[in-house]
């Protein structure tokens, strides 16, 4: 397999918004094209046998060269370089979806007899993968309450190898004190910290700077930003990323080149989009907090949010997701969702379009109110993932829906 090149040094000193446009770009384009284009190829050619032999020995002097599309692709590579620069990591590796990224992290860094710790508020499919699939491979797990680092410390065992956290988490936006988490992991000595930072984006938080070993994104959400493509990406040290890259080659979970192009294009406007989404969500949260039909609002900047202090310390913005409990029951919340006109009913978040959903129905349809309560999920909760529409339009859509419902 090809020798993997490093992130270009020159991309390291700029502001996030500038890096989101330029970092990792290869200047030597065919025909002097400005953009990277889509390297739509399954394989790569060699001039002659001597050329192939030089490549196999690793002395062909072409660090970017690869042999086969399951291992690498230049369009994918450019996206990886750009995300590594944004996350201040040595390298990054892109996958066909966020869940493919999660699965590859689990399969790369765990083996039978190992133990992994998750927080209860992690992405539901991640939890199911650990509890249903990894348990078939004799990998143990513990699940601790949201952002509870004392509970986490108590669960650490000799065989704990991975701590998988998410900050902010879905749908209540709990934030984990990442500096403290890293200290706990270092004191234990053998557990790597992985942070699913999908909700934060590198615009609002850089987990590596807070001691995380790996940071993971569902690129489907904010990074791509247009609700039109799936992808996942993991950033970290060159050594850890190259282990993931080898696993990706074996599982065939590399990101498609066209998807990489779309995500790379989306990334160029990441800062603009996330700044607008931060601003709209914070304003919406304030309005909802004073609304008579709303029982409770969850957004990290609000005075009564349990993670407010941690969020203010480690984040520069709090993202585009606002969750709120409608006064009344499950049906009352459904009426509010149905009365939204601008926000469409759909799962997902982080795109330019505002989306609304009721987690009790979208994510936990098989659970009744009592079972929902046992996992601290309210049946009258509504999650609004704001897009980049005018702030006032998003707010009036929701407030009008509340009046009508």
Ligand X SMILES: *Cc1c(COP(=O)(O)O)cnc(C)c1O
The residues carrying an active-site annotation are 70, 123, 196, 221
Select 124 or 341, whichever has its Cβ closest to ligand X. 124
Contact 393, 357 (CB under 8 A): no
Alpha-carbon span 174 to 305, nearest angstrom: 8
We find the least distance from the C-beta atom of residue 96 to ligand X, in angstroms, to be: 8
Structure letter (DSSP) for residue 136: G
What binding mask, one character per residue, do residues 115-134 give for ligand X by CB under 6 A, x or -?
--------x-----------
**Nearer CB in complex with ligand X: 230/240:** 230
Around 141, how many Cα atoms within 13 Å sit in the side-chain half-sphere?
21
Contact 91, 236 (CB under 8 A): yes
Q: How far is the CB of 12 from ligand X (least distance, A)?
A: 27
Report the C-alpha gap between 284 and 398 in whole angstroms.
9
| Minimum CB distance to ligand X smaller for 2 or for 210 | 210
**Contact letters (x/-) for ligand X, 162-201, by CB under 6 A?**
----x---x-------------------------x-xx--
One character per residue 84-103, x = contact with ligand X (rule: CB under 6 A) = -------------xxx----
**Distance of closest approach, residue 94 Cβ to ligand X, in angstroms:** 11
In whole angstroms, how far apart are CA 286 and each of 92, 216, 256? 37, 30, 40
Cβ proximity to ligand X, 240 vs 385, nearer residue:
385
Nearer to ligand X, 66 or 198 (CB): 198
Residue for token digits 């079972």? Answer: 371
**152 in Cβ contact with 144 (< 8 Å):** yes
Q: Return the range that interacts with ligand X (CB under 6 A); candidates 130-138, 214-222, 338-346, 365-373.
A: 214-222
Q: How far is the CB of 221 from ligand X (least distance, A)?
A: 6
Give the one residue of 147, 160, 165, 220 binding ligand X; rule: CB under 6 A: 220
Query: Residue 223 Cβ, how far from ligand X at the closest point, in Å?
Result: 10
Please give the order of strands across the beta sheet that includes 381-385. 294-298, 321-326, 381-385, 355-357, 344-345
Q: CB under 8 Å, gap of 24 or more: what pairs does 154-158 form?
A: 155/117, 156/117, 156/184, 156/188, 156/191, 157/115, 158/190
Does 256 bind ligand X (CB under 6 A)? Our answer is no
> How many residues in total does the chain contain?
405
**Contact between residue 24 and residue 60 where contact means Cβ atoms under 8 Å apart:** no
Catalog residues that contact ligand X under the rule CB under 6 A. Answer: 97-99, 123, 166, 170, 196, 198-199, 218, 220-221, 230, 232
């Amino acid at each position: 397999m090809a020798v993997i090149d490093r992130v270009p040094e020159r991309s390291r000193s700029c502001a996030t918004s500038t890096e989101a446009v330029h970092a990792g770009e290869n200047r030597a384009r065919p025909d002097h094209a400005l953009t990277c284009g889509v390297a739509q190829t399954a394989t790569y050619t060699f001039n002659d046998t001597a050329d192939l032999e030089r490549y196999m020995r690793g002395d062909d002097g072409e660090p970017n060269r690869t042999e086969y599309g399951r291992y690498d692709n230049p369009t994918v590579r450019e996206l990886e370089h750009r995300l590594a620069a944004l996350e201040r990591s040595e390298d990054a590796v892109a996958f066909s979806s966020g869940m493919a990224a999660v699965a590859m992290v689990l399969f790369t860094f765990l083996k039978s007899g190992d133990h992994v710790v998750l927080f209860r508020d992690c992405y539901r499919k991640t939890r199911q993968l650990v509890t249903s699939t990894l348990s078939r491979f004799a990998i143990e797990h513990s699940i601790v309450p949201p952002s509870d680092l004392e509970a986490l410390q108590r669960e650490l065992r000799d065989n704990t190898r991975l701590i998988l956290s998410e900050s902010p988490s879905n749908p209540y936006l709990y934030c984990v004190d990442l500096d403290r988490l890293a200290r706990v992991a270092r004191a234990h000595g053998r557990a790597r910290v992985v942070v699913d930072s999908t909700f934060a984006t590198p615009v609002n938080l850089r987990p590596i700077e807070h001691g995380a070993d790996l940071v993971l994104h569902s690129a489907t959400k904010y990074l791509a930003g247009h609700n039109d493509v799936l992808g996942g990406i993991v950033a970290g040290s060159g050594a850890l990323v190259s282990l993931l890259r080898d696993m990706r080659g074996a599982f065939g979970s590399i990101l498609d080149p066209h998807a990489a192009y779309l995500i790379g294009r989306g990334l160029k406007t990441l800062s603009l989009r996330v700044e607008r989404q931060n601003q709209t969500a914070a304003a919406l949260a304030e309005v909802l907090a004073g609304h008579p039909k709303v029982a409770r609002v969850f957004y990290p900047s609000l005075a009564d949010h349990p993670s407010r202090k941690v969020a203010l310390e480690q984040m520069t913005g709090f993202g585009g997701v606002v969750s709120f409990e409608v006064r009344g029951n499950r049906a009352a919340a459904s009426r509010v969702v149905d009365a939204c006109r601008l926000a469409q009913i759909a799962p997902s978040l982080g795109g330019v379009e505002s989306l609304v959903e009721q987690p009790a129905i979208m994510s936990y349809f098989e659970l009744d109110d009592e079972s929902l309560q046992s996992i601290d999920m309210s049946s009258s909760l509504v999650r609004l993932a704001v897009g980049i529409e005018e702030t006032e339009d998003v707010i009036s859509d929701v407030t009008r829906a509340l009046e009508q419902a």
